[in-house]
């Protein structure tokens, strides 16, 4: 059995460890949380109860002002472009004619309040967006220091002994860079660029161990990753890395919530790869997930779907019109563990052929 990635709470920070799903220890969830982490190394906060939620929103004016029009407006990818048409030049700051070094430094708090808008800033600290109703746009999140294995951005709140509280209001990060390059590989090898639940659109994400981590997603909010380019991930020690991952997305309190990966380019090529997109029920049940229009690259399996740790994926899991490089162990796999079903929809998925119409190479067989 090939080793898979597990996420363990160790001293209040996230640890991405290689383990067999049949042997991994699954911490007991508390209230609406699974074992996940905020950016701090420890917390004396009590474990959340079932009524735990983000603080009530308080009106707050936008901070840091609008972005001044750049001299070079950039060339963003056309709206709706699939993942195989994304590049470093047409995503993130470059697409809007900006770069990290040209932006003024953000001097606000690491835990901004509800209603905050951060626009056109270089953010040199990790961010905790638990308050919700927060937007970050046209900014560069590039911390210069970070607790080992902590996320660069999280929507998690205070943590107890084995869980962290979940934000109760939406968070959006768009047209920005999330960059771990100013941190050592040993610091960020087990870090996610983003950990929690939110909307990420048109961002360029690079330089950390793993990219977009939908984990500790709660029970009410939907999630969206659209038009992002994840590449240049780094590793060290015994870390295993994901370009993106989903570890819980239950529907028991909101059957209409959805989680969508649309038109992203995700490359996981550290040499210690779980894969570009790894969906595993480590922290809870997962359902209503759509994976559409993405280019998935790198080592491991490009797309994994696993039922494990006593939890199950549901009957509305869809993979549509994606492209795979087919490198590493191959395009896709499913470990159902006697669930009795696999992807509800698997259609129009192909190996990448850049010279073919719509990059359609050989069909990616149903896993």
Q: How confident is the model at residue 156 (pLDDT cuts 50, 70, 90)?
A: very high
Q: How far is CA 106 from CA 119, 136, 142, 169, in A?
A: 9, 11, 11, 23
DSSP 8-state assignment for residue 286: B
Task: Read off the pLDDT of each residue in 278-283 and give the average, rounded to a whole number.
Answer: 97
- pLDDT of 353 > 80? The answer is yes
Query: For the chain, what percent of residues have pLDDT higher than 70?
Result: 81
Nearest-angstrom CA–CA distance, 38 and 167: 11
Tally Cβ neighbours within 10 Å of residue 13.
Answer: 22
Q: What pLDDT band is residue 117 in, cutting at 50, 70 and 90?
A: very high
Per-residue confidence (pLDDT) for residue 45, from 0 to 100: 30
pTM of the model: 0.84
Could you give the number of structural domains in the chain? 1
First-residue to last-residue Cα distance in the chain: 17
pLDDT of residue 239: 95
DSSP H helices, the chain, are 92-95, 185-188
**Rounded CA gap, 272 and 299, in Å?**
8
Which residues have CB under 8 Å from 115's CB, separation 6+?
Answer: 57, 58, 59, 60, 61, 133, 134
Q: Is residue 60 in some structural domain?
A: no
So what's the pLDDT on residue 272?
Answer: 95
Q: What is the 3-state secondary structure (H, E, C) of 4-18?
A: EEEEEEECCEEEEEE
Angle at 179 between CA 178 and CA 183, to 5 degrees: 140
Within-domain flag for 36: yes
**What is the SS3 assignment for 211?**
strand
Check residue 67 and give its pLDDT: 54
User: Would you state the torsion angle of the CA atoms of residues 65, 115, 209, 270, taken in this order, to the nearest 10 degrees?
Assistant: -70
249: in domain = yes
Torsion of CA 25, 29, 30, 34, to 10 degrees: 100
Q: What is the pLDDT of residues 68-94, one digit of tens each?
A: 556 677 899 999 999 999 999 999 999
Domain assignment of residue 53, yes or no: no
Asked if residue 295 belongs to a domain, the reply is: yes
In a domain, 299, yes or no: yes
Range of the domain at 286: 4-41+83-363
Residue 22 lies in a domain: yes
Q: How many CB atoms lie within 10 A of CB 55?
A: 14
**Do residues 266 and 260 make contact, with C-beta atoms less than 8 angstroms apart?**
no
In a domain, 59, yes or no: no
Beta strands in 66-221 (DSSP E): 117-119, 122-123, 127-128, 134-137, 140-141, 153-154, 171-174, 177-179, 192-196, 199-201, 204-206, 210-214
Pair of tokens at residue 9: 């709470």
Which band of pLDDT confidence, cut at 50, 70 and 90, is reported for residue 151? very high
pLDDT at 171: 98
Q: What is the mean pLDDT of residues 143-161?
A: 95
Cα distances from 287 to residues 72, 248, 330, in angstroms, run: 42, 9, 24
Overall average pLDDT of the 212-227 stretch: 98
Residue 66 has what pLDDT?
Answer: 54
Question: Is residue 355 very low, low, confident or very high in pLDDT (cuts 50, 70, 90)?
Answer: very high
């Amino acid at each position: 059995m090939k080793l898979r990635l597990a996420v363990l709470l160790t001293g209040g920070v996230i640890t991405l460890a290689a383990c067999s799903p049949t042997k991994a220890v699954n911490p007991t969830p508390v209230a609406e949380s699974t074992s996940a982490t905020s950016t701090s190394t420890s917390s004396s906060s009590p474990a959340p109860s079932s009524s735990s939620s983000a603080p009530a929103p308080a009106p707050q004016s936008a901070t840091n002002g609008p972005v001044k029009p750049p001299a070079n407006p950039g060339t963003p990818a056309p709206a709706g472009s699939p993942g195989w048409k994304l590049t470093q030049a047409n995503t993130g700051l470059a697409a809007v004619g900006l770069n990290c070094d040209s932006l003024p430094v953000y001097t606000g708090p690491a835990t901004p309040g509800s209603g905050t808008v951060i626009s056109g800033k270089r953010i040199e600290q990790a961010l905790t967006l638990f308050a919700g109703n927060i937007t970050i746009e046209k900014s560069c999140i590039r911390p210069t220091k970070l607790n080992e294995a902590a996320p660069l951005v999280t929507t998690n709140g205070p943590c107890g002994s084995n869980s962290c509280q979940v934000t109760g209001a939406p968070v959006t990060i768009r047209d920005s860079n999330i960059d771990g390059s100013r941190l050592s590989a040993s610091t960020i090898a087990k870090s996610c660029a983003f950990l929690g639940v939110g909307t990420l659109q048109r961002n360029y994400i690079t330089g950390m161990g793993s990219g977009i981590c939908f984990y500790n997603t709660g029970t009410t909010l939907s999630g969206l990753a659209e038009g992002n380019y994840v590449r240049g991930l780094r590793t060290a020690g015994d870390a295993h890395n994901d370009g993106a991952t989903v570890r819980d997305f239950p529907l028991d309190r909101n059957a209409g919530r959805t989680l969508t990966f649309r038109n992203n380019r995700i490359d996981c090529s550290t040499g210690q790869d779980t894969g570009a997109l790894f969906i595993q029920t480590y922290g809870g049940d997962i359902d209503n997930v759509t994976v559409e229009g993405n280019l998935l690259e790198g080592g491991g399996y490009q797309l994994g779907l696993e039922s494990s740790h006593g939890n199950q994926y549901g009957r509305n899991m869809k993979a549509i019109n994606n492209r795979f490089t087919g490198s590493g162990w191959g395009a896709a796999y499913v470990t159902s563990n006697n669930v009795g079903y696999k992807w509800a929809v698997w259609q129009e998925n192909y190996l990448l052929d850049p010279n073919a119409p719509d990059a359609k190479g050989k069909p990616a067989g149903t896993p």
